[in-house]
Amino acid sequence: MTNQQNVVVLDVLPCGVRNVLPPSSLPVPKSFSPQDLKMLLMKKLETEKGVAKINAWLDSMRASSPTRIRSTTATATATATATATASLPETDNRSSWIVHHPSALSMFEQIVAASRGKQIVMFLDYDGTLSPIVEDPDRAFMPKEMRAAVRDVARYFPTAIVTGRCRDKVYSFVKLAGLYYAGSHGMDIKGPSKSYKYKKGNQGVHFQAASEFLPMIDEVYRALVEKTKSIPGTKVENNKFCVSVHFRCVDEKSWVALAEQVRLVLNEYPKLKLTEGRKVLEIRPTVKWDKGRALEFLLEALGYANSNDVLPVYIGDDRSDEDAFKILRERKQGFGILVSKSPKETNASYSLQEPSEVKEFLRRLVDWKKLSHGAAKCA
């Protein structure tokens, strides 16, 4: 006669992950040594932690991918009243949110008034800010009109692109010299040559926050490509100092399987961490560096570390941009502008709905600067 031991079984379902504890049919010894009991307990705890971690990731994945309301001619009449009623709280919510995060376009005069006697420094995210969010991240091209707006802004203000993308990749999209480029969430920064007109110092800027992690990142990239190749729609991108797993084209029913594969790989690398963005899971080093730190580094590189004569303006749409918004709040200096069509918790002061509004804001900034230059010459 043998004892039966309960074992933890991971039951993967399309809607999430749950634990079930069915009796195992495998015979086990009648007694356990203390070491055996310790190992069993550790395995159970590891499984429970893994389940909790996957569920947390799934919540974040869904939060970055709001459900779209789909309607058809057949159901439009039947659902019109319900839809209208359901939209009222959403409308009220946005109205309340916009009071605290007003449009940077409608508040443009107040923004430029705050810059009087100060140097504006522009910080711009790329995806979802300068370019639209697209299904294929390799085709996130910036429109010509946006490139022209960024080029003109950089003529009048020190301008940096701060992105989770590989620095070389985002430069291939932007194709503008005279800008600062901070790739991999600010872990890889390079600026114009030392002759650049806004640089107060006499050296060019080149900084990498986590060079020792490069071999590890390459390993993780290869492992994730292999582990996720069976999940249709997955796109794994090597961004040099971080790895991005895009799930924009992955069926939601496969998100659990994808999260599990990412977890299995990440478990082998305790010096790496996972963060979430807009339909992307990102693996990066556990160094104390982010877009907020990159902003501070660039301000120091420009000679404005402890200066009151600067007004940083940071425009971004992603969770990773919140690190920069938070820094501006803490410094009580400059403004964060969130690009979003829907209300979100944010440290940004102002909002814009989409890249087209970002372009309009940049154009207005250039026009204002030209007028102020003209007025100064006439004075």
Catalytic residues: 125
Residue 315: half-sphere exposure toward Cβ, Cα within 13 Å: 31
Tokens 């292999």 locate to 226
- How many Å apart are CA 186 and CA 22, to the nearest integer? 48
| CB-based contact 319:277 (threshold 8 Å) | yes
- Angstrom distances, CA of residue 81 to CA of 76, 163, 178, 377: 9, 43, 54, 60
Question: 356-368: buried (b, 16+ CB within 10 Å) or exposed (e) per residue?
Answer: ebbbebbbbbbeb
Handedness of CA 235, 135, 273, 17 (dihedral sign): negative
- Angle formed by the axes of helices 255-266 and 34-63, nearest 10°: 130
Q: Is 141 exposed, middle or buried (0-12, 13-18, 19+ CB in 10 A)?
A: middle
| CB-based contact 276:232 (threshold 8 Å) | no
